[in-house]
């Protein structure tokens, strides 16, 4: 018993170290800043709750963050530390469940994995409802099972405690509420004439305690708040999810499968007991529920939303570790040790960027303006809210760049093009984080600032310093449509569309002209690196009104479209006489020599316009900032 207590104490200490390490150094995430910005200027709990009604969150998180911030301050360590403490207690309850349901070795192994797995660590360090939700849910399941299977007294205090923990867990996150509800339903299959009354009592009491969340939920259901940023999951999502849980490591997964394999081979028994069935049910049923929700309502399947159920996969797999024996101890020690090595040394959890950056981007903006001078530098940033970077300017006591402009995400091509055209500075800084940032934005900047002085690329975010000093050397192929003497190897010219305007040759389009001259060639006639490339098409155009034809770029194989991409002219319309539209895509590494690349204007909107400088270039992907995020 003493040795067992020593082991769980060591695991708790390891779990604490893994969570406190690096806690303040990595940037607050987009989701963290969203909730902090929402509540830090609120003057009451009511005001904090009113802000959450237009989101998809419960009231738990804003109320908790509001309380922490106003009691302990808004530093990163202040707002994150309580979530780490919740997580450490979750390790303890995972141990208690494993031990209570099976034996101490199972409890130790499960606790060790919850302490050391990267999936657990990353969700424990951020200001999100995952760590408190997991703690309250594990505590709920522990006492729920105590009531159904281990406690003969069925005391009223236990009933009230289960109801309170269930309501508290359900209040942290709607998907945690789903797990609580599923657990309650599973329990119905184990009722008897001695326990059914009190069981129904704590279910009813739990629903009553949860009920203050219902008006908020109804308000949210009637608002425009959705999970619209999510895409539909792969048919193999559950396999990817399990792979994610085990540090994306087949070897670690095999370590954890060892107990069940040894059990079946050694004991030749293939029958599971009821607690093993419950373990796998509490893991897999939330997945089935979210799958149905995704198929019928909207996308929801992401690993993080199944965070509350992941310990039960561990409990099931490790439940086959025997109570005693040298082999059981070796397996337990090996699993815990390798999970620690996998997270810290193999996956390099602490030296890898896992979230979009705001802190380092704010630091770079301030540093580059200081080094290059505000009179020589223009800056633009594409983020969800300028408050996220301003938060770090204030907390780090940095002077916000006087030249920075925040780009409207709905008009990003248009606004960035206009700002770049107006800039008279020698240098241009562009940053983005946690928002869709097509490579075409970089092409807009490179037209005027063709040289990359410096750049920092983080996870789902980047900041780049451009200059006019030198030409970019990344272009491996370039061809422009010449209306006088076109290169027929690449261009199919429509002579009937050519007009002269202000002594310039232009190509015209109107309601009667649906297709422009076309760039068309086979892959084998182009010079580029198959593993390091992207192709960009661009056109300078003018029109008397806002127009919406499409610049189309395709790669075809016979009658099959391998790639079909288009850019709306309306995204690039400006107040200047001429605007420039871009479209970029990667030529896939498996492209065949006979595949055909085409670029043309499709005037499906039947607008009137004139254009020239129809250009095709192939560039090195590796030499263009952040291009790897867009293919």
Select the more confidently predicted residue: 469 or 226. 469
pLDDT at 486 over 80: no
Provide the token pair at 449: 């600032």
Alpha helix locations (H) across 102-195? 104-116, 118-122, 130-145, 156-172, 174-187
The per-residue pLDDT for range 508-520, each reduced to its tens digit, is: 999 999 999 999 9
Banded model confidence at residue 628, pLDDT cuts 50, 70, 90:
very low
Question: Which residue, among 616, 626, 630, has the nearest Cα to 476 in the 3D structure?
Answer: 616
pLDDT value at residue 620: 84
The per-residue pLDDT for range 296-355, each reduced to its tens digit, is: 888 888 999 999 999 999 999 999 998 888 888 998 999 999 999 999 999 888 877 778
| Phi, psi (degrees; rounded to nearest 5) at 240 | -65, -40
pLDDT value at residue 223: 56
- DSSP-based three-state secondary structure for 629: helix
Provide the token pair at 56: 């998809």
pLDDT value at residue 246: 96
pTM: predicted TM-score of the whole model, two decimal places: 0.86
pLDDT at 224 over 60: no
Quote the DSSP letter at residue 150: I
CB neighbours (10 Å) of residue 545? 8
- Range 129-140 average pLDDT: 97
Cβ–Cβ under 8 Å, residues 89 and 66: no
The per-residue pLDDT for range 533-587, each reduced to its tens digit, is: 889 999 999 877 788 899 999 999 988 989 999 999 989 887 777 889 999 998 8
Alpha helix locations (H) across 428-513? 440-446
Banded model confidence at residue 147, pLDDT cuts 50, 70, 90:
very high
- The proportion of the chain whose per-residue pLDDT surpasses 70, expressed as a percent, equals 94
Provide the token pair at 123: 């969700």
The per-residue pLDDT for range 150-169, each reduced to its tens digit, is: 876 667 889 999 999 999 99
Cβ–Cβ under 8 Å, residues 282 and 275: no
pLDDT value at residue 226: 53
Cβ–Cβ under 8 Å, residues 474 and 535: no
pLDDT value at residue 444: 92
Lowest mean pLDDT among 159-168, 456-465, 598-607: 456-465
Q: How many CA atoms lie less than 13 Å away from 291 in the CB half-sphere? A: 11
pLDDT at 251 over 90: yes
- How far, in whole angstroms, is CA 176 from its chain's centroid? 19
Select the more confidently predicted residue: 233 or 221. 233
- Range 222-248 average pLDDT: 79
Quote the DSSP letter at residue 95: H
Cα-based angle 393, 397, 398 (whole degrees, multiple of 5): 55
Banded model confidence at residue 627, pLDDT cuts 50, 70, 90:
very low
Quote the DSSP letter at residue 229: T
């Amino acid at each position: 018993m003493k040795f067992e207590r020593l082991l769980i104490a060591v695991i708790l200490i390891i779990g604490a170290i893994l969570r406190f390490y690096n806690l303040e150094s990595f940037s607050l995430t987009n989701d963290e800043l969203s909730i902090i910005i929402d509540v830090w200027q609120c003057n009451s709990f009511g005001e904090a709750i009113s802000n959450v009604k237009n989101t998809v969150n419960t009231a738990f998180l804003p109320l908790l963050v509001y309380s922490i911030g106003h009691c302990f301050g808004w530093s990163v360590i202040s707002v994150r530390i309580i979530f780490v403490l919740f997580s450490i207690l979750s390790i303890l309850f995972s141990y208690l469940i494993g031990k209570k349901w099976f034996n101490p070795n199972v409890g130790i192994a499960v606790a060790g994995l919850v302490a050391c797995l990267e999936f657990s660590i990353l969700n424990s360090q951020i200001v999100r409802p995952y760590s408190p939700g997991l703690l309250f849910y594990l505590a709920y399941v522990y006492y729920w099972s105590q009531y159904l299977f281990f406690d003969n007294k069925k005391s009223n205090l236990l009933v009230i405690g289960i109801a309170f923990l269930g309501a508290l867990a359900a209040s942290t996150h709607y998907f945690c509420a789903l797990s609580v509800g599923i657990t309650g339903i599973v329990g119905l299959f184990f009722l008897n004439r001695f326990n059914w009354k009190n069981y129904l009592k704590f279910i009813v009491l739990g629903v009553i305690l949860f009920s203050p969340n219902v008006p908020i939920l109804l308000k949210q259901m009637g608002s425009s708040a959705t999970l619209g940023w999510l895409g539909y999951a792969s048919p193999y999502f559950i396999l990817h999810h399990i792979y994610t849980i085990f540090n994306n490591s087949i070897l670690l997964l095999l370590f954890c499968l060892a107990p069940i394999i040894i059990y079946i081979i050694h004991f030749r028994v293939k029958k599971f007991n009821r607690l093993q069935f419950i373990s796998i049910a509490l893991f897999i049923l939330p997945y089935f529920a979210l799958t149905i929700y995704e198929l019928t309502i909207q996308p929801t399947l992401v690993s993080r939303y199944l965070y509350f159920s992941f310990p039960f996969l561990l409990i099931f797999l490790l439940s086959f570790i025997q109570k005693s024996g040298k082999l059981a101890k070796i397996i337990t020690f090996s699993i815990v040790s390798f999970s620690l090595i996998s997270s810290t040394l193999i996956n390099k959890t602490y030296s890898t960027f896992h979230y979009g950056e705001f802190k380092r981007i704010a630091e770079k903006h301030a540093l580059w303006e200081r080094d290059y001078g505000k009179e020589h530098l223009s800056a633009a940033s594409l983020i969800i809210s300028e408050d996220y970077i301003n938060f770090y300017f204030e907390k780090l006591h940095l002077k916000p760049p006087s030249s920075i402009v925040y780009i409207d995400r709905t008009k990003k091509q248009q606004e960035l093009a206009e700002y770049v055209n107006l800039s008279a500075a020698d240098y241009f800084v562009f940053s983005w984080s946690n928002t869709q940032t097509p490579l075409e934005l970089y092409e807009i900047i490179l037209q005027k600032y063709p040289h990359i002085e410096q750049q920092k690329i983080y996870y789902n975010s980047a900041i780049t310093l451009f200059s006019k000093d030198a030409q970019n050397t990344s272009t491996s192929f370039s061809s422009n449509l010449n209306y006088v003497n076109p290169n027929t190897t690449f261009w199919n010219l429509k002579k009937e569309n050519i007009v002269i305007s202000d002594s310039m040759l232009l190509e015209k389009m109107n309601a009667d002209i649906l297709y422009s001259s076309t760039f068309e060639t086979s892959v084998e006639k182009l010079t580029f690196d198959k593993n390091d490339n992207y192709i960009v098409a661009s056109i300078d155009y003018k029109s008397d009104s806002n127009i919406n034809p499409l610049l189309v770029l395709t790669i075809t194989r016979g009658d099959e479209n391998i790639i079909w991409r288009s850019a709306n002219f309306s995204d690039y319309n400006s107040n200047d006489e001429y605007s420039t539209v871009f479209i970029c895509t990667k030529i896939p590494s498996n492209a065949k020599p006979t595949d055909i690349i085409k670029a043309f204007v499709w005037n499906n909107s039947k607008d009137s316009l004139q254009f020239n400088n129809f250009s095709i270039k192939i560039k090195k992907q590796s030499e263009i900032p952040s291009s790897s995020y867009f293919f």
